[in-house]
Amino acid sequence: MRAIIQARVPGSAPPPVLQHGFARAPGVETPRALVAGIGFRHATSADEILALVAEGLRQADRPGAQLAALATAEDRAGDRAIRDAAGSLGVPLVAIGVEALREAGRRVVTRSVRIEALRGVGSLAEAAALAAAGPDGRLVLPRIASAGATCALAASGEAYPS
């Protein structure tokens, strides 16, 4: 089972999973960490989440990109589907607390009336991705949806070039 990493309150250091420890030569661009934020219904399978992440990477023109993490709401991070999806991808699962979701929710670009009423954010997937990517994270792909899940991609630091 993969460890669940707690997201920090915005304004503090990014979650440990996203810290880069690789030395790089001057002038060599280091790829930014790419996080997939996931919202999902209880009956959603890991396969549906995996397919949606793959579709998100395809739509963002990064089909072979290496993800740094999956991120979701803290109260859903224990669900088997999201844990299995993170395990299949070989990435940590970042559990985002309510306050961090709401803080990052100020930067979402998609608004779902239902999710806003339930969670206090317009898009759980976008808020989770942005919170996990850190205070300088930017959306690479706004929320996309399948029947039972949503996915958004965010890059830490400077966003990938458009």
Block residue for tokens 């630091």: 157
Alpha helices in the chain (DSSP H): 46-59, 80-89, 98-105, 113-119, 124-133
Residue 26 lies in a domain: no
Q: Give me the CATH number covering residue 146.
A: 3.30.420.180
Residue 160 lies in a domain: no
Residue 17 lies in a domain: no
Reported as a single tens digit per residue, the pLDDT across 136-160 is: 999 999 999 999 999 999 998 744 4
- Containing domain of residue 133, as a range? 33-155
Residue 143 lies in a domain: yes
Residue 10 lies in a domain: no
Environment class of residue 1 by beta-carbon count within 10 Å: exposed (0-12), middle (13-18) or buried (19+)?
exposed
Q: Which pLDDT band, with edges at 50, 70 and 90, does 4 fall under?
A: very low
pLDDT at 24: 32
Residue 4 lies in a domain: no
Pairing verdict, β 149-155 and 34-40:
antiparallel
Residue 8 lies in a domain: no
Q: Compute the mean pLDDT over every residue in the chain, rounded to the nearest whole number.
A: 81
Query: How many structural domains comprise the chain?
Result: 1
pTM for this entry: 0.77
Residue 99 lies in a domain: yes
Reported as a single tens digit per residue, the pLDDT across 40-85 is: 999 999 999 999 999 999 999 998 888 999 999 999 999 999 999 9
